[in-house]
Amino acid sequence: MAGDGVVLGALLWYFVFMAAAMPTHEGENRLKRKKDNSLHQSRGLALLLVFFLFILVLAFVFGDRGIVEIIKTQKEIRALQSTIRELETQKAKLIQEIEMLRKNPMALEKKARENLWLMKKNEKVAVLVSEKKEAPHE
């Protein structure tokens, strides 16, 4: 009977060591690692796609031809169009004044007297100087 206990003990140790080294567990571990690796790879791919999408959005908004630059350019265009309208109005007034000076010699004489300080014989020019107000001292 003592021999039977040794044999049973040896068999028990054999099954314990064999169970630890069973290929079914290795296969399961290998499959689990493969699933974990594929999960990490899919997460990494998703993070990479999110990163590139973030960069794309930043370029779309703040890039050289982004929305911010387009808005600034549109403001500049509106300001320049306003300046053009003002200059066209000023040009029309000057053209009207030129035509008036060409047709009316009295208007030409009046303009010459005002701007060039011209005067006729026996005429005196009085220059009125307005007093400048001094700024209050701080």
The span from the first CA to the last CA of the chain, in angstroms, equals 120
3-state class (DSSP) for residue 72: helix
85, two tokens: 């309208």
Q: What is the pLDDT of residues 75-91, one digit of tens each?
A: 999 999 999 999 999 99
Query: Please, which pLDDT band fits residue 71 given cuts at 50, 70 and 90?
Result: very high
Query: What's the rounded mean pLDDT across residues 53-68?
Result: 85
Sequence letter at residue 122: N
Q: Would the pLDDT of 20 be above 90?
A: no
100 neighbors 93 (Cβ within 8 angstroms) = no
Domain ranges of the chain: 7-62, 64-119
Query: Please, which pLDDT band fits residue 2 given cuts at 50, 70 and 90?
Result: very low
